[in-house]
Amino acid sequence: MSEKVKPYKESDLNKKKQVEQMFDNISGNYDGLNRVITFGVDQKWRKKVVKYIVNSKPNSVLDIATGTGDLAISFSKFDIPKIVGFDLSEGMLSIARKKVEKNQTAQRIDFIQGDSENMPFENNSFDAITVAFGVRNFENLEQGLSEILRVLKPGGIFVVLETAVPTKFPFKQGYYFHTRYVLPLVGKLFSKDKVAYNYLSESASVFPHGEDFNNILRKIGFKEVKNKPQTFGVASIYLASK
């Protein structure tokens, strides 16, 4: 199990409340900073996630930790009758809703604020579920994954996009330099929340990845679990089914 890293070490709030507060704080410049920090490669990763989902021909998709809605909006370009974007942060969702105001196809997305570890959906509700850069923010990882398994339909697909730590030289060394120095510096310069990007860096470094995360998914009850490393191992796409 991953070490529990919190955004605000001096705060008495639990991790869930701290994460909600943090994303509310950085919602205004989150998209721009993401493009800078990942050199835009995160968009390429998201397109791969969309391809996996669309190829499964779902009638319903739940995008958990939808943030400012990029992934959910991508799904709206395809013939998927039901799309739900779900997130803990109302600040992030407010940005998502603004994005779809002038996009008729995207206006059918239902953006809902709530706790991914206790979701307001019935069992077996969705054909496909995605989480992009969100599972490491769960307060209780296994509880969150169990909830996802609960609301996923039998035979449904679950796709996770999450950061990982490269294992080979020189990518491992470059990754640590980027996350320890570049990412926090960019956050301090351009974000009004000076500690948020320290948290994002630290939480990524201690989160289980690769086979460790595969094993957690299997323990929860997911089947056909596999992961596909991206861009020299700095991220991974995990695929699983129910």
- We report the CATH number of the domain holding residue 199 as 3.40.50.150
- Asked if the structure places residue 2 within a domain, the reply is no
Q: Which of 156, 141, 142, 134 is nearest to 53 (CA)?
A: 156
- Asked if the structure places residue 1 within a domain, the reply is no
- Asked if the structure places residue 33 within a domain, the reply is yes
Taking the C-alpha atoms of residue 67 and residue 96, their distance in angstroms, rounded to an integer, is: 7
- Global confidence as pTM: 0.91
What is the pLDDT at residue 102? 83
What is the pLDDT at residue 66? 98
What is the pLDDT at residue 2? 47
- Asked if the structure places residue 8 within a domain, the reply is no
Taking the C-alpha atoms of residue 199 and residue 197, their distance in angstroms, rounded to an integer, is: 5
Question: What digits encode the pLDDT tens for the residues 148-186?
Answer: 999 999 999 999 999 888 777 776 776 667 677 777 777
- Asked if the structure places residue 23 within a domain, the reply is yes
Please, what sign has the CA dihedral across residues 148, 109, 16, 122?
A: negative
* Amino acid, res. 209: H
For residue 199, what are the domain limits?
Answer: 15-241
CB distance 111 to 83 below 8 Å: no
- Asked if the structure places residue 5 within a domain, the reply is no
For the chain, what is the mean pLDDT? 89
- Asked if the structure places residue 6 within a domain, the reply is no
What is the pLDDT at residue 1? 43
- Asked if the structure places residue 150 within a domain, the reply is yes
* pLDDT beyond 70 at 46: yes
CB distance 53 to 130 below 8 Å: yes
Cα separation values, 63 from 5, 212, 233, Å: 23, 23, 23
Domains held by the chain: number = 1
Average pLDDT over residues 115-137: 97
Helices (H), the chain: 15-26, 30-37, 41-55, 70-75, 90-99, 141-151, 171-177, 183-190, 196-206, 211-220
